[in-house]
């Protein structure tokens, strides 16, 4: 379906209806950035919304809470509503608050209600470590031993998790399930609707970590009846380093008392009554704890404007085409160098990045960086390559594979140690 020539890449770019959005982003000269799944690039609109919020502090001071283009008091709710179309949520179901990990703590503290024999939490053995740490500590807080009460579904191939295996572990003893939407290493996309239904059929609540899918893949969290979800906004959503995270709580659970309460979770009309009886908001805003981190959520306003202009469906369409093209070029150009493509190949279960495995992965990444290609490395042997719909062109992908081929032919990676850097 694709051809390996540069002319073909140029034609793909000419036909690409998102091609112009590249100019909305700050791209560095002589660099091809394939790491937008770890930290998305700055867009001009995100920069502008950050500057706008900074100016509101400068000029309005305390009145910035209720005045200006983005009154701070309602900003987290407003950004939550703007995130709705990305994840298939109603306006009141999403709030921008906390970080991925603190949001997971909040959601487990709320939705993990061990009862009788139903005391275990089900996760998988390939999930991101921080999620597992949060689950372990929440189990301990309720007096359970994570050794016996955290069940981690095993992977058959070390890369992916079989959905049948997950469903088989949904026993009567499981109270709560936490799974990633997309696995951070292999990029496997799970069937969220199917797993949610299977969990609910067995009377189990289920929540998803959307860090590696939100901003790359459309979701229907409300219609799939997902109990809750949480994600960061600094990866595919380009909200900047340490940008505030998000959480979704299904409408049917709104009005419930959050596990961890604080005054910013109050009903907004009552918050300043300053009563010692907590009146939770009837929206996902109830899950906020303290004062919102206005400046760290400001870039998201500009960034979401771009997503809502383009729609997440078009982002996914280009992303799938880009990863398919990248895999095709890898198969065509690199077949003699013992690479393995570790991500699912089909469109239905492939996330936003290509997982390229090689025993020299750590030092191949260093050689790529030296040549201006920015991938990322995940131990022990994964090079993650994420073409981003907004700013990676097909010519960028073509050039990246050519440079990688030259690195392999000339064994340029041999000048580096095959070890990860401190951040990898
Ligand atoms: C990036 C990522 C995190 C990061 O958590 P923070 O609290 O934002 O540092 C957690 N889980 C997954 C699956 C991730 O990909």
Which segments in the chain show pLDDT lower than 70? none
Question: Are 176 and 239 in a shared domain?
Answer: yes
- Is 263 annotated in a binding site? The answer is yes
Q: Is there a single domain that holds both residue 140 and residue 272?
A: yes
Same domain, 349 and 305: no
Nearest CA to ligand 1 atom 5: 100
For residue 267, CA distances in Å to 67, 73, 400 come to 19, 12, 51
Residues 148, 110 within the same domain? yes
Nearest CA to ligand 1 atom 4: 100
Contact 231 CB / ligand 1 (< 6 Å)? no
Q: CA-to-CA distance for 207 and 226, rounded, in angstroms?
A: 6
End position of a domain, from candidates 310, 345, 366:
310
pLDDT of res. 424 = 77
pLDDT of 287 reads 98
Q: What is the mean pLDDT of the chain?
A: 97
Sheet holding 150-153, edge to edge: 94-96, 246-249, 228-231, 205-209, 174-180, 120-124, 150-153
Residue that terminates a domain, selected from 310, 341, 356: 310
Is the whole-model pTM more than 0.75?
A: yes
Single out the residue in 290, 310, 330 at which a domain terminates.
310
pLDDT at 423: 83
Give the domain CATH number at 182. 3.40.640.10
- If asked whether residues 198 and 108 sit together in one domain, one would say yes
**Predicted local confidence at residue 420, as pLDDT:** 85
> pLDDT tens, 185-239?
999 999 999 999 999 999 999 999 999 999 999 999 999 999 999 999 999 999 9
Q: Which residues contact 281 (CB under 8 A, 6 or more apart)?
A: 265, 266, 267, 268
Instruction: Tell me the CA–centroid distance for residue 17 and ligand 1, in Å.
Output: 31
| 99 pocket-lining for ligand 1 (C-beta < 6 Å) | yes
The answer to whether the CB of 124 is under 6 A from ligand 1 is no
Q: How far is Cα 224 from Cα 201, in angstroms, rounded to an integer?
A: 13
How far, in Å, CA of 153 to CA of 168, rounded? 9
Distance 214 CA to ligand 1 centre (A): 12
Q: Is 230 in the pocket of ligand 1 (CB under 6 A)?
A: no
Q: Are residues 366 and 255 in the same domain?
A: no
Among protein residues, the one with the nearest Cα to ligand 1's atom 3 is 100
The strand pair at 174-180 and 120-124 is best described as parallel
Please give the distance, rounded to the nearest whole angstrom, from the Cα atom of residue 245 to the centre of ligand 1: 9
Q: Kindly state the DSSP code that residue 74 receives in the 8-state scheme.
A: G
DSSP codes, 173-234: TEEEEEEESB-TTT-BBP-HHHHHHHHHHTT-EEEEE-TTTTTTS---TTTTT-SEEEE-SS
What is the atom index within ligand 1 of the atom nearest the CA of 102? 7
- Shared domain for 259 and 358, answered yes or no, is no
Taking the C-alpha atoms of residue 206 and residue 227, their distance in angstroms, rounded to an integer, is 6
Q: Does 245 contact ligand 1 (Cβ within 6 A)? A: yes
With 0-12 CB in 10 A as exposed, 13-18 as middle and 19+ as buried, what is 272?
A: exposed
Domains in the chain: how many in total? 2
Distance set, CA 354 to CA 123, 330, 412 (Å): 24, 10, 22
In a domain, 424, yes or no: no
Residues 65 and 129 in one domain: yes
Same domain assignment for residues 230 and 348: no
Cα Rg of the chain, angstroms: 22
Q: Is residue 128 annotated as involved in ligand binding? A: yes
For residues 279 and 291, membership in a common domain is answered with yes
CATH number where 345 lies: 3.90.1150.10
Check whether 196 is labelled as a binding-site residue.
Answer: no
What are the two backbone dihedrals, phi and then psi, of residue 344, each rounded to the nearest 5 degrees?
A: -60, 140
What is the extent of the structural domain holding 105?
48-310
Q: Both 17 and 57 in a single domain? A: no
Question: Ligand 1 within 6 A of 155 CB?
Answer: no
Indicate if 264 and 345 belong to the same structural domain. no
| Coil, helix or strand at residue 250 | coil
CA torsion, ordered 125, 130, 135, 139, to nearest 10 deg: 120
Residue 261 covered by a domain: yes
């Amino acid at each position: 379906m694709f051809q390996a020539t540069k002319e073909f890449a140029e034609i793909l770019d000419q036909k690409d209806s998102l091609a112009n959005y590249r100019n909305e982003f700050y791209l560095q000269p002589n660099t091809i950035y394939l790491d937008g799944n770890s930290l998305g690039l700055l867009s001009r609109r995100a920069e502008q919304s950050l500057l706008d919020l900074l100016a509101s502090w400068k000029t309005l001071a305390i009145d910035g809470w209720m005045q200006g283009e983005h009154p701070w008091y309602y900003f987290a709710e407003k950004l939550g509503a703007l995130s709705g179309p990305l994840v298939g949520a109603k306006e009141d179901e999403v709030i921008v608050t906390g970080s991925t990990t603190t949001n997971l703590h909040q959601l487990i503290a709320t939705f993990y209600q061990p009862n009788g024999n139903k005391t275990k939490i089900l996760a998988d053995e390939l999930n991101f470590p921080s999620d597992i740490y949060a689950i372990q500590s929440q189990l301990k807080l309720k007096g359970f031993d994570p050794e016996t009460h955290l069940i981690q579904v095993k992977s058959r191939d070390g890369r992916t998790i079989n959905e049948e295996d997950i469903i088989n572990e949904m026993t009567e003893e499981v109270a709560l399930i936490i799974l990633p939407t997309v696995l951070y290493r292999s990029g496997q996309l799970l069937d969220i609707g199917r797993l949610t239904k299977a969990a609910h059929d067995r009377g189990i609540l289920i929540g998803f970590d959307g860090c590696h899918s939100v901003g790359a893949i459309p979701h229907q969290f409300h219609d799939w009846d997902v109990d809750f979800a949480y994600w960061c906004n600094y990866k595919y959503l380009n909200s900047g380093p340490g940008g505030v995270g998000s959480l979704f709580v299904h409408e049917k659970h709104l009005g419930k008392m959050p596990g961890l309460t604080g005054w910013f979770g109050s009903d907004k009309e009552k918050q300043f009554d300053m009563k010692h009886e907590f009146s939770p908001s009837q929206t996902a805003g109830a899950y906020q704890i303290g004062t919102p981190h206005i400046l760290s959520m400001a870039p998201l306003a500009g960034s979401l404007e771009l997503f809502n202009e383009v729609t997440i469906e078009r982002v996914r369409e280009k992303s799938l085409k880009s990863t398919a093209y990248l895999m095709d070029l890898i198969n065509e150009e690199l077949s003699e160098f013992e690479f393995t493509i570790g991500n699912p190949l089909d469109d239905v279960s492939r996330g936003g990045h290509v997982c390229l495995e090689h025993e020299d992965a750590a030092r191949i990444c260093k050689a790529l960086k030296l040549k201006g290609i920015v991938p990322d490395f995940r131990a022990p042997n994964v090079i993650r390559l994420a073409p981003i719909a907004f700013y990676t062109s097909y010519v960028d992908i073509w050039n990246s594979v050519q440079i990688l081929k030259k690195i392999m032919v000339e064994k340029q990676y041999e000048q580096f140690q095959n070890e990860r850097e401190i951040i990898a």
